[in-house]
Amino acid sequence: MAKLITGLHHVTALASDPQKNVDFYTKVLGLRLVKKTINFDAPDVYHLYYGDQTGNPGSIMTFFPFPGMYKGKRGSGQLTITGFSISADSIDFWMERLAELAIDFQGPTERWNETVLYLEDPDGIGIELVANKSDVRMGYEREDIPAKHAIKGFNHVQLDVRNKDVTAALLTNYMDHEPVAEMENRIRLPANDVSGAYVDLNVDPNLLGGSEGAGIVHHVAFRTESDETQLEIKENLRRIGYHSSPVMDRQYFHSVYFREPNGILFEIATDPPGFMVDEEEAVLGEALKLPPWEEGRRGLIEKHLVSLT
């Protein structure tokens, strides 16, 4: 039977400075800015999407950058680390690159036959670069980052929880995940046993709750094939007592939101229509794209947004 959920779709976080955010994710990590639009729920704020060449699901890190936003606090009930996949022989390249760019990092360390570097973005969001042999995806090549060393997309997300059993039960029984590894207070559950699909539950019963703000992940989105599979998931969740949002049109995918038992906001996002629905591949992310219902306010919206380079 085909799985309804096939991996990670995107991770969305809060930031404080739009330009610093663009500079870090494009000029340091080398991701492509694949879409520059607005927060549909707060149209005076950007929604910036970074990913691979075309913004394939499983490669997309997105941000709502609120200029001057107060800093949040990490804690239980949050996605605290986003892991990106790199080639097995790329650790030295990234260590040298980060050192040259004066970006602090920790590692390398070993975990589950993977070599890991840890760093943080300008707002303190936890990032891991994970070298592994199993990921065959192609990253976004830049002049200063050869294709063989480019970030391929997500490797995993780390969810910090007090009670792993309730979240693990949701993921395994109703969201097509299967546990594949466990160590100390950590368990790994992918939707597919390939890089880019891993959910790592980091368990600490004594961890205090966090608070929202810059440097905090807002939600994690899981990918599904179509509108039909999304509705099937939504119905399955309803049957077991989860209240989910109506289906929301996010222009580049359709979304349903709900909170899992430890309080983390989960999203189910469709693969289609994708980021080339309103831009050609060669110019992805260059123009400010607005949803049709906001085009009449373009002048006012652009006036309130800071310019980005």
Per-residue pLDDT at 1 exceeds 70:
no
pLDDT in tens, 180-216: 889 989 999 998 766 678 999 999 998 899 999 999 9
Q: How confident is the model at residue 255 (pLDDT cuts 50, 70, 90)?
A: very high
Supply the Cα-derived Rg of the chain in whole angstroms.
18
Write the CATH number for 123: 3.10.180.10
- Give domain status of residue 176, yes or no: yes
Per-residue pLDDT at 160 exceeds 90:
yes
pLDDT in tens, 216-228: 999 999 999 999 9
- Give domain status of residue 109, yes or no: yes
59: Cα separation from own chain's centroid: 7
- Quote the domain boundaries for residue 150: 5-304
pLDDT, residue 112, reads: 87
pLDDT in tens, 54-93: 999 999 999 999 999 999 999 999 999 999 999 999 999 9
- Give domain status of residue 85, yes or no: yes
In sequence order, what DSSP letters do the residues of 24-86 get, joined into one string?
Answer: IIIIIS--EEEEEEEETTEEEEEEEEEESSS--TTSEEEEEE-TTPPB-B--BSEEEEEEEEE
Per-residue pLDDT at 14 exceeds 80:
yes
pLDDT in tens, 94-122: 999 999 999 999 999 999 889 999 999 99
Domain count, the chain: 1
pLDDT, residue 194, reads: 66
- Name 17's Cβ contacts closer than 8 Å, sequence gap at least 6: 65, 67, 122, 123
- Give domain status of residue 309, yes or no: no
pTM: 0.96
Task: Find where tokens 């404080």 sit.
Answer: 16
Q: What is the DSSP letter of 23?
A: I
Q: Mean pLDDT across the chain, nearest whole number?
A: 95
pLDDT, residue 113, reads: 87
